[in-house]
Amino acid sequence: MVATAQRSLPLEEVSAVLPVPLHWLKRHLRGTNPSEELATIVAQSLKKPCLTHALRRRRWTRTQTQLGWRQRTRNVQQAFVARERFVRDRTLLLIDDVLTSGATAEACAHALTQAGARRVFVLTAARTTLE
């Protein structure tokens, strides 16, 4: 992921890295957030701060695994909120573990830009397709 970021992104513009958040209860039940673990490693490698609390999931959402494209988009619509004081006027690198339809990443990026982020890049560990 770090090599891809170094090759593909204007890292001199990126001021911070942040993970796609899990709902607090889902995080508690799983015991971990894979996106957060990846974001921490990527941020350390790129020598950027990792803002684990800049973006949060404001409501529980169904798992996306059995949903079609439109359902995924509706499922995560307005599910995220960003903390303006951490993101305003910043270019951010959002880390997700798996990207399928892009609905979650898009909803996160929307919340970040609504809170004043200048730009949002998305970096993911894996890419799958909807069947």
Mean pLDDT calculated for residue range 84-101: 92
Mean pLDDT calculated for residue range 95-103: 83
Kindly state the percentage of the chain with pLDDT values over 70.
Answer: 85
- pLDDT value at residue 115: 97
Domains of the chain: 2-59+69-127 (3.40.50.2020)
For the ranges 50-59, 64-73, 107-116, 121-130, the maximum mean pLDDT occurs at 107-116
DSSP string for residues in the chain: -HHHHHHHS-TTTEEEEEEPPPPHHHHHHHS--HHHHHHHHHHHHHT--B-TTSEEE-S----STT--HHHHHHHHTT-EEE-HHHHTT-EEEEEEEEESSSHHHHHHHHHHHHTT-SEEEEEEEEE----
Give the pair of three-digit tokens for residue 130. Answer: 């909807």
Whether residue 50 has pLDDT greater than 80: yes
- Residue that wins the pLDDT comparison between 98 and 7: 7
Kindly state the percentage of the chain with pLDDT values over 90.
Answer: 62
56-86 pLDDT, tens digit each: 988 657 565 666 557 666 756 787 899 999 9
- pLDDT value at residue 20: 94
